[in-house]
Amino acid sequence: MAIFSVYVVNKAGGLIYQHDSYAPRAEAEKTFSYPLDLLLKLHDERVLVAFGQRDGIRVGHAVLAINGTDVNGKYTADGKEVLEYLGNPANYPVSIRFGRPRLTSNEKLMLASMFHSLFAIGSQLSPEQGSSGIEMLETDTFKLHCFQTLTGIKFVVLADPRQAGIDSLLRKIYEIYSDFALKNPFYSLEMPIRCELFDQNLKLALEVAEKAGTFGPGS
């Protein structure tokens, strides 16, 4: 499995479809006694590690679960504030799971429109005539591939850097979009895609692409 997620962005920069196909687990669970030797802080409605990186717990990781029950942002499952709960010596020893904070749907919307503008700036700053926007963005943990259609819809795929055959996958997704979203009489243009057939066929295409470009970490 080496395709992480798919985004579809309309011509105004709005996110109209998002699918996470595989999220690698980068989590660490540990039992702590009082006092907690990590510094936690509140950021964007989440409790993040600010200092005290160790044993797979990194600065920037969020508190995901306490004693095996998932937390809900900055609140525990029964509605108490996480920081308050962890500040009380009576609750120790406590087992806390840390991991990379997962993106909320709001953040996904924001990142999609952010990419929309980066795409435009990328073509403006081009040293060559007639350049498109960002087609491929490379980091050490993933590669982002983007395909913009003539009508301005952007298909974005996040995949493992070693995954091959993403270009044909992007064309395939465009085909699926034309067949199962555009030809659906109940779908209105530029609006979020809620079509069952689109979902099914997209998942199928992702599976096929993952098997075809077989350099993923899981294979």
Partner 1 sequence: MTVHNLYLFDRNGVCLHYSEWHRKKQAGIPKEEEFKLMYGMLFSIRSFVSKMSPLDMKDGFLAFQTSRYKLHYYETPTGIKVVMNTDLGVGPIRDVLHHIYSALYVELVVKNPLCPLGQTVQSELFRSRLDSYVRSLSFFSARAG
Q: Give the nearest distance from C-beta 137 to partner 1 in angstroms.
A: 4
Q: How far is the CB of 204 from partner 1 (least distance, A)?
A: 22
How far apart (Å, rounded) are the C-alpha atoms in residues 201 and 28?
Answer: 35
Nearest approach in angstroms of CB 27 to partner 1 is 11
Which of residues 47 and 144 has its CB atom nearest to partner 1 in the complex? Answer: 144
| Residue (55 or 140) nearer to partner 1, CB | 140
Cβ at position 127, least distance to partner 1 in Å:
4
> Which residue, 142 or 180, is less far from partner 1 as judged by CB?
142
Measured distance between the N- and C-terminal CA atoms of the chain, rounded to whole angstroms:
7
Contact set with partner 1 (CB under 8 A): 4-5, 23-24, 26, 58, 60, 100, 103, 107, 111, 114-115, 117-118, 121-142, 144, 158
Q: Virtual CA dihedral for 112, 114, 119, 122, nearest 10 degrees? A: -160
In this structure, are residues 142 and 160 in contact, taking their beta carbons and an 8 Å threshold?
A: yes
User: Smallest distance from the beta carbon of 126 to partner 1, in angstroms?
Assistant: 6
DSSP annotation of 177 reads I
User: Which contacts (CB < 8 Å, 24+ apart) does range 52-59 have?
Assistant: 55/28, 55/30, 56/28, 56/98, 57/28, 57/30, 57/98, 58/98
Give the nearer residue to partner 1 in terms of CB position, either 6 or 195. 6
Nearer to partner 1, 96 or 181 (CB): 96
